């Protein structure tokens, strides 16, 4: 979770690609491109994970799916080309709640799970 959040903030598509499904990668890449087009920089400090709870797990057609609710703390600000904050607060820790679904084909030799769905939660 932390690796993906920080790679997204840095705009590191190379690190993200093997960790995400094609659909999620495309969504993340589009958001990164939008920042790049506006010459915006995402400055994010990952403070920590307060909790991570499995809220659903199932097996579909030989693929395991696990949905996890993460409650984390981040310091995050988007700055424009001039270095001015256009979103967020570079001095404030905020709580972030995310619900992510991970999937892995059980027959695969690759032990890694990929993120196949992301959403925020209230």
pLDDT for 121: 62
| Token pair in block for residue 100 | 């992510």
| Token pair in block for residue 45 | 């400090």
Predicted TM-score (pTM) above 0.95: no
Alpha carbons 92 and 111: distance in angstroms, whole number = 37
Residue pointed to by tokens 């659909």? 23
Asked whether residue 122 carries a pLDDT value surpassing 60, the answer given is no
Q: Which sequence spans correspond to the domains of the chain?
A: 2-120
Q: What 3-state class would DSSP assign to 74?
A: strand
pLDDT, tens digit (0-9, with 9 covering 90-100), for 72-106: 999 999 999 999 999 999 999 999 999 999 999 99
Alpha helices (runs of H) in the chain, residue ranges in sequence order? 2-10, 13-16, 22-37
Question: 3-state SS string over 12-23?
Answer: CHHHHHHHECHH
Strands 85-105 and 63-79: antiparallel
pLDDT, tens digit (0-9, with 9 covering 90-100), for 14-27: 999 999 999 999 99
Assess if CATH 3.10.450.240 describes domain 2-120. yes
Q: What is the mean pLDDT of the chain?
A: 95
**C-alpha closest to that of 5 among 70, 84, 79:** 70
Q: Give mean pLDDT, residues 51-63.
A: 97
């Amino acid at each position: 979770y932390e690796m993906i959040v920080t790679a997204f903030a840095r705009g590191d598509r190379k690190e993200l690609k093997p960790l995400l499904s094609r659909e999620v990668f495309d969504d993340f890449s589009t958001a990164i491109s939008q920042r790049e087009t506006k010459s915006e920089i995402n400055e994010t400090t990952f403070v920590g994970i307060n909790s991570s709870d499995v809220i659903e797990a199932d097996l579909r057609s030989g693929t395991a799916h696990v949905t996890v609710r993460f409650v984390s703390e981040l310091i995050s600000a988007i700055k424009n080309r001039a270095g001015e904050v256009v979103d967020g607060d570079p001095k404030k820790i905020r709580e972030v709640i995310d619900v992510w679904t991970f999937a892995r084909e059980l027959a695969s030799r690759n032990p890694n799970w990929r993120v196949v769905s992301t959403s925020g939660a209230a």
